[in-house]
Each structure stands twice: as structure tokens, then as C-alpha cells.
Amino acid sequence: MSLETITTISPITNKPILKRNGLSDADITSIPETAARAFESYRCTSLSDRHRIVKKALKLLNDRQEALGKELSEQMGRPIAYTPKEITTAVARGEYMLKISEGALKDTEGEAEKGFKRYIKKVPVGPVLILFPWNYPYLTLVNSLIPALLAGNSVIIKPSPQTPTSAEQIQQIFNEAGLPEGVLQIFHSGSITQIEAIARSPHVQLVCFTGSVANGLAVQSAASDRVPIRVGLELGGKDPAYVRSDVDVKWAAEEIVDGSVFNSGQSCCSVERVYVDEKIHDEFVSALQDVLKGYKLGDPMDKDTHVGPVVSMRSAEAIRSHIKDALEKGATDATPENDSFKWPPTDGNYVAPTLLTNVNHDMAVMTEETFGPVIPVMKVKDDSEAIKLMNDSQFGLTASIWTKDVSKGHELIDDVEAGTVFVNRCDYPAPDLAWVGWKDSGKGQTLSKFGFDQFVKLKSYHVKDYPK
């Protein structure tokens, strides 16, 4: 049987740029077996040895930020002015996980009692399968890879077909850093059937998936008939922002635009719906328009570009369908005049940042994940209505409230149903805070000291002195 050929299509030109081979039937068996053998020796290594390897790998990753950033721009379309920053942010995140790992992985002592030693040890779970996406491949991979390796697990990683070299680069870097053979393996596949087969292997003990709800459910279902296996899911979002009447309108508008259209809005935690106090609604919309006038849509290899193409023709069509649905149901296109929005390059998947007003929850753009550079703005009369609408969603990843009254903002976020809540900030996973989704945005967590929890299992030691 011939191997699957996986082709990466450039979002800039819609032409093929890379090809990779999928898995053979033998690979589906051998990859988990290799991971299991490597785990048996790697789990016995000291934490200090793992520290040394990870520290060296992070340095190598940082040293290659320009080259890796260029690859990202070519493969997924983010402007080259921003892609090297993903690498430096991933390194900083990894360094934080490295710094806290000793405390996060230490034993927990039981109650002191003469003649006994009792404690709880955190031991690695075994081979881990990490399935990570194209939109922030290095950042999303680091979230799971670094704690997995520091905890003593072997790891199998599968990148998105859109950014295949991210996995290859990481494997090469860790090989150079001295990671033992077999501890980190990669594979390419565009077949959910093959991915499910790897997840069903009796050797795999944990699956970490970042991506869509539909694919997350498929992975979870594949693993559902095995008791020991765990599944961590980081899924989609429809993240709201509420702008109160007391804000500095110009500043808040700049922040909201950035949180909505950075990476062409292709972030699980981008701002996807905006609720604005009716007292400042018109002024705020005008401020959003002023900000958007200064943005440039265009070739991501141009360092002056703010917004590049979205990842695929299919994605562009889905975003445009949300805009069309909203306009047909009474929304207003309030996007300002901007030549770059009107005349982007002709070959790629360019979707101009779009500002919509007069929106409501009968429209897909306010209820379904858009994953594009769209800013829908809805007028609200007060805090109570805003919170009710913010919570009216199947998703619960992040949410933000914008106000000069920080105490009031702090009070309001207590009632918001999301795993991460912000006051006067958005679209920012902090490495010292747990990254966790509520509702259909996922389960499990990464980052912070709690980000190590899914990569270990507890083993209680109960030792009694021998009677004399």
C-alpha cells in the first residue's frame, strides 16, 4: 500500500510548497513501541539531567528564531514582522516551566508519625502523544512538550500538515541537546484514522490535543475504551470583551483591534465579540475605525504588513460566510476606507479586517467560532446585560473587561464563565497561570505549576520501620 502524501499549500500563493509522507501500517505499531522502550530508561534519569537537556534545547531554539520565524510566515501566513516573536515567547515560556519544575514535581510528605515514612511521589505517566496546531505551533507545542519531558515521559508529536517543519525542527534541536534516542519522535499524517490508531495503542498513556472541537471529540472518542489513558483538550473559543463607559476610548480601541485581528484573528483566545456600553458605543466604534485605518493587509514577507492571509481558501470562505450572514440579518459593515483592505495581493487567502455593528446573538458571527479578523460590536445598556451576553456561549476560554474602575472589573469577572478572565488585557496566556478551557473550550490544563499535573500520576509510599 502506498503511503499518504501530505501537501502543504501556501496561504500566500495557494500553491504547493512542501510534501511529506504519512504513516505505514508498520509505523502505527512501531512508533508507540519505540516510545515505550525509550520511556523505560528515560524515566530513570535525574531531573537535573532533564534540566540540562531542556535548557540547551531552549537556547538552540532561541538562536534560530529568525530562520524558524521565516518558515512560519511561509507556511501559515503570519507577517514576518511577528513570527520570530513566537519563538522567543515559546522559549520564555519553556524557561518558566523549567524554573518551577522542581517544586511542581517534588514529593508531598504525609503526616509525621514515629516509625513511619509516608509520602506521595509524582511519577511520569509514560508515552505521551501531542497533537498540535498550525496557528501557533511552537507556543502550543511547548505548553505540553516541556513539562512532559521534565516529568520523565517519552513523547510522540504530530504537527499540523500546514506547518510540518515545526516538529522536524524541534526534534533536531532536542537531538542536538542530547535527548536520548526514541524519547522524542515525530510523524506526519492528514488522516484522522491514523491518528486515532496511534491514540489507541496500549503504550500511549496520555493524549494532548489542541485544535477544533470536532477533532478533539474524535480523539477523545478514540481513546474512550481504555481506562488508563488520559486526554487533555485545548479547543476553540468565542472570547468576549466588554467595554465599560469609563474607559480611555482610544487606548481600549487599540487594544481590542490588536486582540481581534493579530494573526488574522486565528487564535483560540482572540477577541471574537465586543460588547460596548451604549453611552460610548458610537465614540468607540469611531475609535476602532481610526485604528483600522492604520493597519496594512498584505504580503506577510513585507515587514510593514500587519495582517497577512488566513490559512486556507476554506477558512476564508467560512469567515466570509459569517460576515454575509450578519449583513443579511441586519448588521452594518462599519469598516473604514483602507486601500490595502480593498486591494490585497490577488493569489492568497486575504480577508480584510472587518468591523460590524448592529450585531446580535441571532448571527453566527456572535455565536460560532469565526477564527478570522472580524470585530463584531454589540451595544449593551449595563454591566448586567453585558455579563449575561458574555456567558451566552458554548465556549469558555477567555474573556476581558475594560474599565478604569479596576475593582469593579475584578468584581465582574467573578461572574464570567471562562477559564481565564482579564481586566484591561486580552489574548495573553501567562505562563504562571493555568491555561484551561471551560465548557466546550476543553478540559485539562497547561502552564503554571498545574501544567505538570497531567504528565504525572501519583504513587503513595507507606513505609513502616521493621519491629525490633
Q: Catalytic positions, please?
A: 234
Q: What angle do CA 389, 395, 401 make, to 5 degrees?
A: 50
Give the chain's length. Answer: 468
DSSP secondary structure letters along 246-272: TS-HHHHHHHHHHHHHGGGG--TTSEE
> Residue 188 contacts by C-beta under 8 Å, 6 or more apart in sequence?
6, 20, 21, 22, 23, 158, 159, 161, 164, 167
Cell numbers 480577508 correspond to what residue? 351
Question: Rounded CA gap, 33 and 43, in Å?
Answer: 15
Cell numbers 469609563 correspond to what residue? 246
In degrees and rounded to multiples of 5, residue 389 shows phi and psi of -70, -35
Answer for the pair 230, 274: CB distance below 8 angstroms, yes or no.
no
By the 10 Å C-beta count (0-12 exposed, 13-18 middle, 19+ buried), 458 is classed as exposed
By the 10 Å C-beta count (0-12 exposed, 13-18 middle, 19+ buried), 275 is classed as buried
Question: Rounded CA gap, 306 and 235, in Å?
Answer: 26
Cell of 407: 475593582
Question: Rounded CA gap, 418 and 442, in Å?
Answer: 11
Question: Rounded CA gap, 314 and 255, in Å?
Answer: 28
Answer for the pair 431, 96: CB distance below 8 angstroms, yes or no.
yes
Question: Rounded CA gap, 163 and 160, in Å?
Answer: 6
Answer for the pair 389, 275: CB distance below 8 angstroms, yes or no.
yes
